[in-house]
Structure 1
Amino acid sequence: MFCIIIVFLAASFYACLDMMHFSLRLNEEKKYRLNCNNNQIELRLTVNMGSHYQFLIKSLQGEFDFYTDSLNIITRPTATTVYSYFKYGKKSFSGHQTIEKGKTLICYFSIYGDYSYGSPGCPEEILIPPSGFIMCDDKPLITDTIRINMKQ
């Protein structure tokens, strides 16, 4: 009976850790905003205690185009594997998606590697270099590398 209680408590503790999310700073900002003409987009990143991340992208003004195959996630030290998928509303998608004003697109990604800092999926730094991942008026919106320091 004692073993069953210990197993139950351990499983409950692990489940609670997995549900806890923490916001991370993108270029030292909790809510990182990018502008294009009169359009504005807000980026936020959360991580749970494991190796799973949520990159939330909300259109505050105007419409934006997303190209999932252009997203590049770099980790330092280098990850063994980075897996990502995208949702807009309740639907998963890949390829191209237009996000409307007031709507949020979510990029879920997991990082797997053997890191000395933190948990197995926690690199010291995550970088999102300039790319055509987010476009506005046929121009890339990310023009400088976005840095996420995991030692916040």
Structure 2
Amino acid sequence: MSLKLYLPAIVLAFAMVFFIFDIISDVLSNEDGFLHLSLELMVFMAISLVLFHELQHVKSLNKVIIIEKSKTARLAGELLQVMKEQFAKWQLTPSECEVSLLLIKGLSMKEIAEARQVKEKTVRGQATAIYAKANCAGRHELAAYFIEDLMREV
């Protein structure tokens, strides 16, 4: 887990340790009065309660993070499935499907050619065929086709 999530709890834990040692040293030295010890003990108890609350909050945040990661993964898988189904409707070849995904991801023609170990000219030809079959002017319209629905307010 991220240190940022636990930083307040760590600070509170150090404050608790400080107050424990201070209370123990005050009791052993018999130099401080009852009021001073009572005040330090109340501060220690307050810090303990806040620390407990903070740890519960971090625990609940971790649960939310796990749920959201799961939703994101599911939605990404669903989007990929929707894309593949649309590619089939457009009658893209397997190579064109692969190039389409890479175009939508934002890779350049050169990067796609390197990743697929083909010439850049081949990728450009496939991209032109994809745009024609999808009735899109370019990669921006191709990507917009799939993300348009995701951006609508529910």
TM above 0.5, yes or no, is no
Q: Tell me which of the two structures has the higher relative contact order, counting C-alpha pairs closer than 8 angstroms and 6 or more residues apart.
A: 1
Scaled by the length of structure 1, the TM-score of the pair is 0.31
Q: Is the radius of gyration larger for structure 1 or structure 2?
A: 2
Scaled by the length of structure 2, the TM-score of the pair is 0.31
Normalized per residue, the structure richer in strand is: 1
